Amino acid sequence: MNNARQKKLMWVIAMLVGVAVAVGLILYAIRQQTDYYFDPTAITAGKAPENKRIRAGGMVVAGSVKRDPNDPLNIQFEVTDYKAVVPVTYRGVLPDLFAENSGVVATGELQGGAFVASEVLAKHDENYMPPEVAKSLKAEHAERGTDVNNGQFIPATSMAEIDQRQAEQSQNQAQAQSDSQTQSPTQNESHAPQ
């Protein structure tokens, strides 16, 4: 083989190796960024992998949103597909559209039966439901033989309303404790032997 042909062959081989490496890196990156979606039923059935990044979605259970009083960025709530419920823990600021009885998709890891979210996405408007959640709920209704469009959903509760409700409950509990402490001595005096 002459020298010019040998150089050309080396360039072609180098280009093919370069393209193969580039395609391999692209496929690796895509595989690493792929988050598989699981609904609460699949998660509770053990189909979701532990300690691997996944997406979980469903509807936020009414009354399940709890904030840590010492650290309001620590939030716990539950997500349901109306067949199963999965507890979710999230540290951060929730989206403005996050509300009870509304659709949510969270990205994170399943750790010991609880879902630890690193990102929470909320619905866009009154009629929006994440596609994965809609598909899951549609399948559930098909299994039960009910019509998805006739389903009655409780209106969403905004985070402001949830925070206000929790503050009122705390005030009521404090007031009840205060009342019981002020009534205790007078009740004891009336029952004291004379």
Residues present in the chain in total: 194
Tell me the binding residues for heme: 124, 128
More confident residue, 133 or 167: 167
What pLDDT sits at residue 14?
Answer: 93
Spell out the CATH class of 36-169: mainly beta
Query: 85 with 40: CB under 8 angstroms?
Result: yes
Q: Are strands 85-91 and 114-122 parallel, antiparallel or unpaired?
A: parallel
Residue 152 confidence class, pLDDT cut points 50, 70, 90: very low
Count of alpha carbons within 13 angstroms of residue 52, beta-carbon side: 13
Tell me the binding residues: 124, 128
Question: Tokens 């019509």 belong to which residue?
Answer: 147
> Residue 70 above 50 pLDDT?
yes
What pLDDT sits at residue 101?
Answer: 84
Question: What is the residue type of 62?
Answer: A
What pLDDT sits at residue 193?
Answer: 52
Residue 162 confidence class, pLDDT cut points 50, 70, 90: low
